[in-house]
Structure 1
Amino acid sequence: MVAPAVTSESDIPLALPSRRRRAVPVLIRAAAALAGGGIFYASYPPRTLWYLAPLAFALLAAALRHRTARGGFLYGLLFGLAFVLPLLQWLQSFLGADFGPFPWVGLSFVVSLYMALAGAAMAVVSKLRGGPVWMAAVFLGSEVLRTYFPFDGFPWGKVAYGQPEGLFLPLAAIGGTMLLGFAVVVTGAGATELIARWRAGDRRRALVLPAVLLVLPVIAGAASWSLVGTDAQAGTRTVAIIQGNAPDDGINLMYDTPILRRNHIAATEKLAADIKAGKVAKPDLVVWPEVATDLEPDPRYDSELSKAISDVGVPFLIGGRLIQNPTTIQNVVQVWDPNTGPGPRYAKQKLVPFAEFIPLRDISAAVTPFVADTRDMIPGTEPGALPVDGTTVGVAICYEVAYDQVVGDAVRDGATMLAVPTNNAWYGPGEMSYQQLAMSRVAAVEYGRAVAVSATSGVSAIVQPDGSVTRQSELYTAATLVATVPLRTTATLATRLGAWPEWAASVAGLAALALAIGSRLRSRSGSRRASTT
């Protein structure tokens, strides 16, 4: 009889690692993912720390590199929550303490789930040759999915919208928000891959690709500034933005439309008086914010508004709710000429789910206060390219500026400048208005157009085609901004490509994921056959 082998006490940890020892790497990776999400949030406007974003994705890539899909899902979720929860905190200002944190936390969790799915896929493709490239493609592909699904999507918090300035921004003129976001993510993932290979003692040749991925996007971005034009190719227009102000009343603002109207008419009357007194140069165009008044099917009967516009004596873009009948309401921008009255109008195409329209009303009653008091708005179907006294102005209402399709279609239809009327008074004095302004700044570079951002209570701004802000208002103050902007006709490469970069990155990411899964399945099959022989 053979005596059982005696295992010394010192051998036990090597043969059977303790749970604590197994947990340490998991905790380190979880901490890296959380830190990455927090740093990503810190890089976002109103802060100007754009250069922190690659570091955020370097930490995420470190947590995900060569992990399982299940682990990647967890780390991606942690990264998402650390980023999205503080990013969307302004929802609490909108809903108020009485409604509780559920809508804010719920939406943040849903957005984070997209990042969790991205994390799972990134972990799988990280083992492929050129892993950082496929990791970036997969993450940006998840942003494409979130932009369109479900209920018209929610593109808030895209990587590109945290880059309204800095070295990467010019890439938006080449490949839109997709290329801009891709450059940020691949730079971070490339840095992680370079460090991991260097620590593993890989040969110099193995370090070349990650080094290139770390450096090339930065160089490409800096070199692309020459492609960002600001010259006036079709003359200039002097634009006045009316910010009449609104009460910081959160959700109750839905009942305050008369206050919005009164404030904006008063601000318009003051502009007319200042022009008459020579205090302000007479503009060529005046832009009101989103839903600053109610409009009837035939707004010519609105004598008060008509007189205010006639006193200024130039065309207006009026943001309003068009109430065609009790069941048909649209969020529109109305062209209003001082001589001929109302003209063409644009109706908002991308409506805000659970606010401007209510999906699944019976279920939604549990998470949104709008179900009982609102009717679904009717989305528009035509591009927002409005003719205004010989100038075509591209209009995107509120967060429509985050949708490349909406803005791109207007520019392709001949817009030589852009206007973004918005109503941010709902969301309190937090970061929401600055986050949205960043979208307009990125769009200015992407499409090579100046942007007039008109907000009910701020932040209103004049954005030049290079993304720089030349005039900007404060929050919750009445203000009128007057500035001259260039009209431009050149179509950037991003404008001509349209949605192609989005679909190219998405297809590349899916192909890489399929390849990685197939390779793993073949490896497992080969191992099973070897074990049976």
Structure 2
Amino acid sequence: MRIPRLRLVAAGALVAASMPPWGWWPLAFVGCAAYATVAAGAGRRAPFRTAMWWAAGWFVPSLAWMWFLTVPGYFLVVLIFGALHGTAAVLAAAVGRASDAHRRPALVIGHTLAETVRLSAPFGGVPLATMALSQSQSPLAHLAGTGGVVLVTLAVFALSFAEHRLRVAAALAALLMLALPFDSTRHVGSATYALVQGGGEQGTHVGDVDPRDVFEAHLAATRTIAPRADRTAVVWPENVINITGHGSFAESRERDEIAAEARRLGVPFVVGITEDTGDGRFTNAQVVVQPDGSVTDRYDKKRRVPFGEYMPMRSLLDSLGAPVDLVPRDAVPGTTPGFLDADGVRMAVAISWEVFFGGRVNEGIDGGAKVIVNPTNGSSYTWTILQTQQVASSRIRAREQGRWVLQVAPTGFSAFVSPDGEVLERTGISERRVIERTVDLHTGRTPYSRLGNAPYIWALVAALGLLLLRARGANRKGRS
């Protein structure tokens, strides 16, 4: 029997269509269920290839933005992601040989674990086009405050693969009810933030645009802001102040101009900078500039973007003719905790890529942050696939922590996201615009914030191990 490749690719494409920017979230269940049906029909034959074809339909379109950044990296990531789900299918098939009743639970757990691996591998983690992101607008997103992306992902696969879906839905509802008493988040005041988007062209790379032009675009947008007595801070996007090759930010003309605007408005500025480190590398940081020009706080980005801020396997890819010069230098990862203090309010800071990782945001919340800020820069990426997935990730992070998320980008999207994951205001791509809102500050922790991903991952590993042991025991009995 031949593998019905077209059906598998179509099932994967349905999953892709559930992702941003398309965002038809119910299609995730249709695509997963269609895959499970084909996989069951294939029986023990070629589970790895079956999952690989499904994954190709899922990841080729939903990661298409990578084509314009790095073609080798694009194909490598698609193959790795497919292999993870292929391995999950092989494990489920191994369990199914001994007991067909256990095959579906193994399929649910295996594919959930395949998604969790992407939180840390390859290249330190590439959690893009994940099953959890497809549900940022669905009722299942409510699970994020209890179990983060792991529980959301488990719920999607369980509802898609299970024979008794009503039982699964009832169990998930019960889990939400049990978790409610452990959510200690509460409202403790408010703060007003202005987010500055300078505008500009998408799909540009280092060297395509004069850094000074980017700075002046944001300065011009800032000059449209009128003073306001209750404003807390003005927030600029990631690395729009690029002074690499021109000394330090503290001694720069740009710092003086930012300080002048801070004095005019009477509030601190939270701005993104890049600086040389003196060893052929650079830093990507967010700093707080006071009206007197002093820099009172700084956070250096810890999780770097592979193929964007550093080039994995640079020598190997260069020998294969890959355009490694698109990332001529590597960023230095930061070491300080992920939060900043501005006007007496502590903010959890996840710079750009870091917002895709729940642990990066959780670090700032653990440090006492009452709001989350995500300064980012998506101007290097063509189309809006990545940018819309980032907004979806901000929605998940807001639910996980019970905090407002302020996302600010030079060319879009900039947005305010409420603690229940609602996008209340969002800019367009390439437009110059300032958005401002008073947001509630929160303290306390959600169940997810207290536990993180680890307990859920280990529980899944233990459950899969138990299923494999039972399958092994059943096989031995069958041979005796």
Same fold (TM over 0.5): yes
Partner of 2:133: 161
d(CA) in 1 for partners of 2:309 and 2:434? 28
Map 1:12-411; keep pairs closer than 5 Å: 22-23=1-2, 26-27=3-4, 30-65=5-40, 71-94=46-69, 101-126=71-96, 127=99, 129-190=101-162, 194=163, 210-216=164-170, 219=173, 233-252=187-206, 255-271=209-225, 275-276=226-227, 283-295=231-243, 296-299=247-250, 301=252, 302-339=255-292, 341-365=294-318, 366=320, 368-371=322-325, 374-411=328-365
2:205 alignment partner, SS class: helix
In the superposition, relative to structure 1, how do residues 211 and 428 fare at CA in structure 2: closer, same or farther (>3 Å)?
A: closer
More deviation, 303-312/210-219: 210-219
**Structure 1 position 44, deviation (Å):** 1.1
In the superposition, relative to structure 1, how do residues 102 and 288 fare at CA in structure 2: closer, same or farther (>3 Å)?
A: same
- List runs of 5+ in structure 1 lacking aligned partners: 1-21, 96-100, 195-209, 527-533
In the superposition, relative to structure 1, how do residues 184 and 379 fare at CA in structure 2: closer, same or farther (>3 Å)?
A: same
Q: Deviations over 1:304-358 (max 9, x none)?
A: 2322332222112111213232534111111112235212111111111222122
d(CA) in 1 for partners of 2:64 and 2:80? 14
Partner of 1:424: 378
Q: Deviations over 1:368-396 (max 9, x none)?
A: 52347622211012221111111110000
The answer as to whether partners of 2:91 and 2:106 remain within 8 angstroms in 1 is no
Amino acid at match of 1:169: A
Amino acid at match of 1:284: T
The answer as to whether partners of 2:159 and 2:165 remain within 8 angstroms in 1 is no
Amino acid at match of 1:79: W
The answer as to whether partners of 2:376 and 2:409 remain within 8 angstroms in 1 is yes
More deviation, 396-405/42-51: 42-51
The answer as to whether partners of 2:196 and 2:234 remain within 8 angstroms in 1 is yes
More deviation, 221-230/285-294: 221-230
The answer as to whether partners of 1:65 and 1:123 remain within 8 angstroms in 2 is no
d(CA) in 1 for partners of 2:362 and 2:477? 45
**Structure 1 position 294, deviation (Å):** 2.1
- List runs of 5+ in structure 2 lacking aligned partners: none
TM-score (norm 2): 0.90
More deviation, 65-74/402-411: 65-74
Amino acid at match of 1:263: A
**Structure 1 position 519, deviation (Å):** 3.8
In the superposition, relative to structure 1, how do residues 180 and 242 fare at CA in structure 2: closer, same or farther (>3 Å)?
A: same
d(CA) in 2 for partners of 1:281 and 1:44? 41
2:127 alignment partner, SS class: coil
Percent identity of equivalent pairs: 27
d(CA) in 1 for partners of 2:106 and 2:444? 33
d(CA) in 1 for partners of 2:104 and 2:30? 14
d(CA) in 2 for partners of 1:372 and 1:244? 24
1:386 alignment partner, SS class: strand
d(CA) in 1 for partners of 2:313 and 2:90? 29
The answer as to whether partners of 1:267 and 1:480 remain within 8 angstroms in 2 is yes
Q: Deviations over 1:182-231 (max 9, x none)?
A: 111100011xxx2xxxxxxxxxxxxxxx2444433664588699789999
More deviation, 227-236/47-56: 227-236
d(CA) in 1 for partners of 2:106 and 2:239? 43
Q: Deviations over 1:483-518 (max 9, x none)?
A: 111111120000001132443244235404632652
Q: Deviations over 1:389-447 (max 9, x none)?
A: 11110000112111122111111111110000111111123322101110000010011
d(CA) in 1 for partners of 2:417 and 2:136? 11
Q: Deviations over 1:148-191 (max 9, x none)?
A: 1232121112211111122111110011111111111100011x
**Structure 1 position 450, deviation (Å):** 0.3
**Structure 1 position 452, deviation (Å):** 0.2
Cα RMSD, aligned residues only: 2.8
In the superposition, relative to structure 1, how do residues 216 and 373 fare at CA in structure 2: closer, same or farther (>3 Å)?
A: closer
Amino acid at match of 1:163: Q
Amino acid at match of 2:303: K
The answer as to whether partners of 2:150 and 2:457 remain within 8 angstroms in 1 is no
Aligned residue-pair number? 472
The answer as to whether partners of 1:93 and 1:250 remain within 8 angstroms in 2 is no
The answer as to whether partners of 2:25 and 2:135 remain within 8 angstroms in 1 is yes
d(CA) in 1 for partners of 2:220 and 2:322? 33
d(CA) in 2 for partners of 1:48 and 1:316? 34
d(CA) in 2 for partners of 1:326 and 1:258? 23
d(CA) in 1 for partners of 2:331 and 2:365? 25
Partner of 1:514: 468
